[in-house]
Amino acid sequence: MSANLLGQETSPYLLQHKDNPVHWMPWGTEAFERAKRENKPVLLSVGYAACHWCHVMAHESFENPEIADLMNTLFVNIKVDREERPDVDQIYQSALALLGQQGGWPLTMFLTPDAEPFWGGTYFPPSARYGRPGFPDVLQGVAETYRSKPENVAQNVTALKDALGKLAENKAAGAIDIAVIDHVAERLAREVDPFHGGIGSAPKFPQVPIFELFWRAWQRTGREPYRQAVLNTLAHMSQGGIYDHLGGGFARYSVDEMWLVPHFEKMLYDNAELLDLLTLVWQETREPLFEARIRETVGWLLREMIAEGGAFAATLDADSEGEEGLFYIWNEEEVDRLLGPDAAIFKRAYGVTPNGNWEGVTILNRLHQIAQLDDATEAKLAECRAVLWREREKRVRPGWDDKVLADWNGLMIAALAHAGLALDEPTWIAAAERAFAFVRDHMTEGGRLLHSWRAGQLKHRATLDDYAHMARAALALHEATGDKAFLDQTRVWVQVLDERFWDAQAGGYFYTADDATDLIVRTKSAHDSAIPSGNGTMLAVLTTLYHRTGEEVYRTRADALVTAFSGELSRNFFPLPTFLNAVELLQNALQIVIVGDPKNADTAALRRAVLNRSLPNRILSVVPPGTDLPASHPACGKGMQNGTATAYVCMGMTCSPPVTSAEALGNALERR
C-alpha cells in the first residue's frame, strides 16, 4: 500500500497533511495489520490544527520528499489529531514521560505492530540543531534498532507496558480534611510569581484550577496572599500580550514570564476556564478590567467561534500565511497611519515602539501600567482599538478548526451559563443552551455520547471528560433556567459513566469505556491535564446531583470517588486542584433555596442577591410555591412567609431563619 489516506478524514489537522508525500494512515486496525504484514514498526505522529511546531515539523520534514521516502520505506505512518483522539494521545504522552522526556506536540512515538511504544520524542528538526538529532538520523536509527536489536525493543516495550498499566492503579485512602486542602494551598502558593502572577517562570500556562483553589482558600481562611495571587495573575494576563486586546480571547500560554509573548493559538477550553474564574472573581471585586475581559471574550466567542448548528468550534491557529502571530502583530508605521493624531496616546498605552517588543514588531499589551486609566482616556483607546480591529479584519485570518468536541463544549457551556447569570446576560445563556442542544441531539448514538463532530460526521467514542464536562454544563443550565430536562439529562449521562466507566474493584472512573477495543491500556487518574480532571469534575457533579435530588446513591458514589483518589495526595498534589476544589464542595456545599414564583420581582431580587456574590460552593434552587424539596434537604417543608418570596441559606443540616429581602439575604450569605 503506497498512498496517503487522510483525504477522507474530517479533522482539519489530518486534512492539513492529506497532500504530504508521507503515506499517512489514520489510527485504526488497518494500519496495525499492515505493520504486522510488512513487519515494520509504526511511526505515530500526534498534533493538532492550531499547533505552531506541528506546522514547522510538517513543513520541514513531512513535506520533504526525501524524508517522506525514508518514513514510507522504514515505517507504517499513522497521523492522529490529539483533539479527536485524546485517549490515544494520553497513553503515548504518558509513555514519553516514562521515558524521561518532556511531553508536548508534535508527539513522535515509535510503536510495535501491536501499538506498544518503545521510544519517542516530540519535535525533531530535519537536521541536527537545537540540541536535537536530525529527523532522518532518528528514523534510520530507530528502524535499525528495531531490525537488529529486537531484544532491546522488547525490553523497552515490557518496561513501558508495565508502567503504563500502573497508570490505572489509583492510591486509595480515607476522607480528606479541609485542613489538608489548606496545607496544599499554602504549599502551592510558594510557586506563584509574586511580580507577574502565574505559576513558576517561563513558559507560563493559565493553570486556572490552581487559582480557583487559591480563591477558595482566601474565602475559607481570609489570608490575603491567596487573594492577591489570583488578582495579580488575572490582572497581568488581562493586560498582557496573551490577551487579544482587539478581538478578545486569550492565547494558550505565554513563552515568557511576563505574559507578553503568547503562543498565539486560541483554544476553546482555555477561554472557558478563564471566563469561569474571571466571573467568580468579578462577583467579589466588581473590578472593571475583569468585567471588560469577560464581555470581550464572550464577544469573541459568539462572533468567531460558533460552528455549524450552534455549538462551539475548537481552536484558532497560531499561524497565518505560514507565520506565527502574523495576524496579531503591528508596527509603529501602521499604527501612526491608521490612528493619526490619536496614535500617540494609543502607543503609550499599548507599548508600541519603533523597534517593537518581539522580533522587531509589537504585540499589543498594557503591562507597563496594569491599572486602567480615566474614563475619557479609556473611551478614546476603545475607539482606537476599533479602528485597528477593522483593519485587522482585512488580513488573512488564522486557520479555524471548526470541529465540535463534547468535553470542550461542556466547559464553555457551563462558563457561559455562569457568566450570563452573574452579569445578567440572558442572550449568553441562550447561546449556551443552543450549544448544549447540539451536543445532546447530534452527538449521541444508541444512548451514548460521541466525542467529535465535523462536516456532518460524528466520530470517536466519548471519554470520561466528555460525559463529566457535559454533565456539569447540564447542571449549570439547570440552575440558570430551572428546566428539569437538564437535570434529567445529567442523570442519564451519570448512569452511563457508572455502567461503563466505573472501576468496581478499586473505585474511580476510567478515562475510556469498557468497550474501548483499540487501546493498549485503560488509564485512570484524578490529575488535571490541559483541561480539568474528569474524575475531579465528576465529584462536583455527583455532589450537586445529590443536593438537588436528595438521592443517596449520588452521595455514596461521591464519597467512594474521594476515597479512590485521596491517597494520591501523598504522591503528588500539584495536579489535583479540580479534585480538591470538588472535595471542598462536597464538605461545605452552601445550599440556597428561594421559595417563590420565578417570574415575580421579589423572587428575582433574592436570586440576584445570590448571583451578585462570589460563592464557589453555592447550590442555588428556585422553588415555586407548592413544590416539594427532597426529604433529606435541610429546607424541606419550609415555604414562603406572608405570601412573599423567601430564602433559606443552609449548610449541612442547618438553615438560616427565613429572609424575604435581598439585603437580609446578602447579610445571611456574608455570615455563612
Please tell me the distance from the alpha carbon of residue 286 to that of residue 600, in angstroms, as a whole number: 26
How many other β-carbons are positioned within 10 Å of the β-carbon of residue 667? 15
Indicate if the pLDDT at residue 2 is higher than 80. no
Q: Strand runs (DSSP E) across 501-577, as ranges?
A: none
pLDDT in tens, 211-243: 999 999 999 999 999 999 999 999 999 999 999
The separation between CA 539 and the C-alpha centre of its own chain, rounded to angstroms, equals 17
How many other β-carbons are positioned within 10 Å of the β-carbon of residue 297? 25
Please tell me the distance from the alpha carbon of residue 564 to that of residue 552, in angstroms, as a whole number: 18
- Per-residue b or e along 600-638, where b marks 16 or more CB atoms closer than 10 Å to that residue's CB: eebbbbbbbbbbbbbbbbbbbbbbeeeeebeeebbbeeb
Nearest CA to 583 out of 176, 200, 39, 13 is that of 176
* C-alpha pair distances (Å), 461 with each of 186, 227, 413, 511, 537: 39, 40, 20, 11, 19
Euclidean distance between the first and the last CA atom of the chain, given in angstroms as a whole number:
68
Query: Which class would CATH give 6-168?
Result: alpha beta
Span 620-648, mean pLDDT?
A: 91
Span 141-151, mean pLDDT?
A: 95
Single-letter code of the amino acid located at 94: S
pTM: 0.96
Kindly report whether the peptide bond that precedes residue 598 is cis, defined as omega within 30 degrees of 0.
no
Label residue 626 by pLDDT band (50, 70, 90). Answer: confident
Please tell me the distance from the alpha carbon of residue 140 to that of residue 144, in angstroms, as a whole number: 6
How many other β-carbons are positioned within 10 Å of the β-carbon of residue 369? 11
Please tell me the distance from the alpha carbon of residue 211 to that of residue 227, in angstroms, as a whole number: 9
CATH number (1.25.50.10, 1.20.1440.230, 3.40.190.10, 1.50.10.10) of 178-320+401-587 reads: 1.50.10.10
Residue 249: its pLDDT value, please?
98
Of 184-188, 635-639, 651-655, highest mean pLDDT: 184-188
- The number of residues making up the chain comes to 672
- Under DSSP, the state recorded for 366 is -
Domain boundaries defined on the chain: 6-168, 178-320+401-587, 328-394, 589-671
Residue 168, C-alpha cell as written in the block:
490505572
Label residue 1 by pLDDT band (50, 70, 90). Answer: low
Largest CA-CA distance found in the chain, in angstroms, rounded:
87
Q: Is 310 helix (H, G, I), strand (E, B) or coil?
A: coil
Place of cell 457533579: 541
Q: Is 243 helix (H, G, I), strand (E, B) or coil?
A: strand
Q: Strand runs (DSSP E) across 95-236, as ranges?
A: 107-111, 117-121
Span 421-448, mean pLDDT?
A: 97
Q: Is 399 helix (H, G, I), strand (E, B) or coil?
A: coil
Label residue 167 by pLDDT band (50, 70, 90). Answer: confident
Q: Which CATH architecture describes the domain 589-671? A: 3-Layer(aba) Sandwich (3.40)
Report the number of secondary-structure helices (H) and strands (E) in the chain. Answer: 24, 20
How many other β-carbons are positioned within 10 Å of the β-carbon of residue 391? 16
Q: Is 103 helix (H, G, I), strand (E, B) or coil?
A: coil
Please tell me the distance from the alpha carbon of residue 376 to that of residue 372, in angstroms, as a whole number: 11
**Same fold across 6-168 and 589-671:** yes
Mean pLDDT of the chain, nearest integer: 96
Please tell me the distance from the alpha carbon of residue 40 to that of residue 24, in angstroms, as a whole number: 14
Q: Tally the C-alpha atoms within 13 A of residue 315's C-alpha that lie toward its C-beta.
A: 26
In this prediction, what percent of the chain has a pLDDT beyond 70?
A: 100
Residue 207, C-alpha cell as written in the block:
493553570
Please tell me the distance from the alpha carbon of residue 247 to that of residue 364, in angstroms, as a whole number: 12
Q: Which residues contact 626 (CB under 8 A, 6 or more apart)?
A: none
Indicate if the pLDDT at residue 629 is higher than 90. no
Label residue 517 by pLDDT band (50, 70, 90). Answer: confident
Q: Which residues contact 249 (CB under 8 A, 6 or more apart)?
A: 243, 266, 271, 296, 297, 300, 301, 304, 316
Please tell me the distance from the alpha carbon of residue 371 to that of residue 385, in angstroms, as a whole number: 18
Q: Which residues contact 577 (CB under 8 A, 6 or more apart)?
A: 188, 209, 210, 212, 213, 528, 536
Place of cell 460525559: 467
User: 407 with 451: CB under 8 angstroms?
Assistant: yes
Label residue 477 by pLDDT band (50, 70, 90). Answer: very high
Indicate if the pLDDT at residue 379 is higher than 90. yes
Indicate if the pLDDT at residue 168 is higher than 80. no
Q: Which residues contact 609 (CB under 8 A, 6 or more apart)?
A: 647, 662, 663, 665, 666, 669
Residue 355, C-alpha cell as written in the block:
523597534
β-pair type (76-81, 24-26): parallel
Q: Is 156 helix (H, G, I), strand (E, B) or coil?
A: helix
Label residue 69 by pLDDT band (50, 70, 90). Answer: very high
Q: Which residues contact 355 (CB under 8 A, 6 or more apart)?
A: none
Nearest CA to 647 out of 612, 607, 614, 615 is that of 607
* C-alpha pair distances (Å), 232 with each of 254, 277, 294: 16, 13, 16
Residue 215: its pLDDT value, please?
98
Q: What is the enclosing helix (H) or strand (E) of 595?
A: strand 590-595
Please tell me the distance from the alpha carbon of residue 165 to that of residue 158, in angstroms, as a whole number: 11
Reading phi first (left if > 0) and then psi (alpha if -120 to 50, else beta), residue 28 is in left
Span 618-628, mean pLDDT?
A: 92
